[in-house]
Amino acid sequence: MATLRIKPTEAPKAPERGVRAATFRLLLDTAMAIIREAGHIPSVAEVAARSTVSRATAYRYFPSRSVLITAVINRSLEPVRSFKSKATDGRVRVRELFVQTSPLFKQFEPQMRAALQLSLEQWALERAGLLEEETYRRGHRVRILQHAIEPLAAQLPKAMHDKLHRALSVIFGIEPWVVLKDIWGLNDREVERIALWMADALIEAALREGRAAGNGVPAGRRSARPRPLTAPSKGIRIVNI
């Protein structure tokens, strides 16, 4: 398993009931609405003002923009972060992940772009010595992809499995949407299709190199030559996107 050197920021735990839970939801819903409507990362003070909640109260729930945006992304992509597949074919499992999560990426694109914007802004401020809030760290996709490619561990040397893990992390997230929509002018369906094609191509390349270096796979991890992508496991519905 490829190790992540920087731990991603964890979302704050939402109160379970009562006034505190209602206030938490109000502030979070307001932040998501501001991002969706205005396309920028709101300050905690801005969210408090629009929610008619005192700043002191808002900061108790979300002490920084980093904590706020983490909660926003956690709310938006919770089904992605809890993704579990019963598929035993690694390539089918990865396809299933991309197909099932693309609609959420499309639905919450403004929120995901806001998270990327904050990460880039803080990177620049940190380099300049001007960062005055805790750093927002991305990286939850690492764990999600780890589950998706787990079955491929028996077919790949560890170094190749780690390389595939890292390569897939580049195309699983908002990054392909930014490049393909902003630079190429593609629509959502075209972005989804290209992202899935890239995932398939990366897996096939890794498997091809793994077969060429078969003596590098421990005996206990070797398996028969995998089935082609055109023959998914029974019960796995591959959606044409």
Q: How far apart are CA 107 and CA 109, in angstroms?
A: 6
Nearest to 70, CA basis, from 133, 141, 169, 136? 136
Rg, Å, the chain Cα set = 20
The structure tokens listed for 154 are 């028996």
Burial class of residue 132 in the structure, from the number of CB atoms within 10 Å of its CB (0-12 exposed, 13-18 middle, 19+ buried): exposed
The angle, 0 to 180 degrees and rounded to 10, between the axes of the packed helices 109-127 and 90-107 is 90
Residue 11 banded pLDDT, cuts 50, 70, 90: confident
Report how far residue 89's alpha carbon sits from residue 163's, in angstroms, rounded to the nearest whole number.
19
pLDDT digits 0-9 by tens, 182-206: 999 999 999 999 999 999 999 999 9
SS3 (DSSP) at 60: helix
- What is the band of 221 on the pLDDT scale with cuts at 50, 70, 90? low
How far is 226 from 198, CA to CA, in rounded Å? 18
User: How distant is the alpha carbon of residue 123 from its chain centre?
Assistant: 19
Handedness of CA 189, 194, 197, 199 (dihedral sign): negative
Residue 1: pLDDT band (50, 70, 90) is low
Q: Is the pLDDT of residue 229 over 70?
A: no
pLDDT in the model for residue 81: 86
Note whether 203 and 228 are within 8 A (CB). no
Distant-in-sequence, close-in-space partners of 188: CB < 8 Å, separation ≥ 6: 106, 181
- Please give the domain boundaries of the chain with CATH numbers for all domains: 12-63 (1.10.10), 65-221 (no CATH)
**Alpha-carbon gap, residue 4 to 7, rounded angstroms:** 7
Reported confidence tier of residue 233, pLDDT bands at 50, 70, 90: very low
Residue 161: CB atoms within 10 A of its CB come to 23
pLDDT digits (tens, 9 = 90+) for 64-104: 999 999 999 999 999 888 899 999 999 999 999 999 999 99
- Evaluate if residue 56 carries a pLDDT over 60: yes
Q: Which residue has the tokens 């890292």?
A: 166
User: pLDDT class for 35, splitting at 50, 70, 90?
Assistant: very high
CB neighbours of residue 224 within 10 Å: 7
The answer to whether 105 touches 141, Cβ cutoff 8 Å, is: no
Rounded to an integer, what distance in angstroms lies between the CA atom of residue 111 and that of residue 232?
A: 33
174 Cα distance to chain centroid: 8
Q: Rounded to two decimals, what is the model's pTM?
A: 0.83
